Structure 1
Amino acid sequence: MMIRDMIAQERKRQDKLHPNFPKELRLAILVEEVGEISTALQNGDIENLKTELTQTAATAIRWLEHIKKEEST
């Protein structure tokens, strides 16, 4: 699967799992994902690292999408 497809699939999963993405929690959510990257690195778990990197990228994209949407309203 292509990286962009992996991120797009994760974005869809995020919207279903947590439809709200409150402004006041966005940084905390992103930092939590980065923390999971650190854990995967410490454990030497490459498969989990790829998952966490994908989730982090999708979270950053989600934040950008919300900023763009908020700017247009």
Structure 2
Amino acid sequence: MKLEIELFRDNDVGQWGYGVPAMSIVGTGCRDREAAEANALDAISFALEAQGDPSPADSIVVEYEVKLTKSPQAN
């Protein structure tokens, strides 16, 4: 599975931002491209680790470990 992060420069304010469309994540106010990418990874990790409502007592919970690594095709 691949997850796309969109990095963009806001020339009006001289800052960078990011978006993760598949997860409805958007962030702005980053000083440079590297900071935008790092903040996007932090936002993805936060969303994946967030605890929701407790599972119903009669449900079976299956956990998966997800690791974020940059795709070899990424520029």
Both proteins in one fold, TM over 0.5: no
Give the TM-score, by structure 1 length. 0.36
The structure with the greater share of residues assigned to strand is 2
Indicate the structure (1 or 2) with the bigger Cα radius of gyration: 2
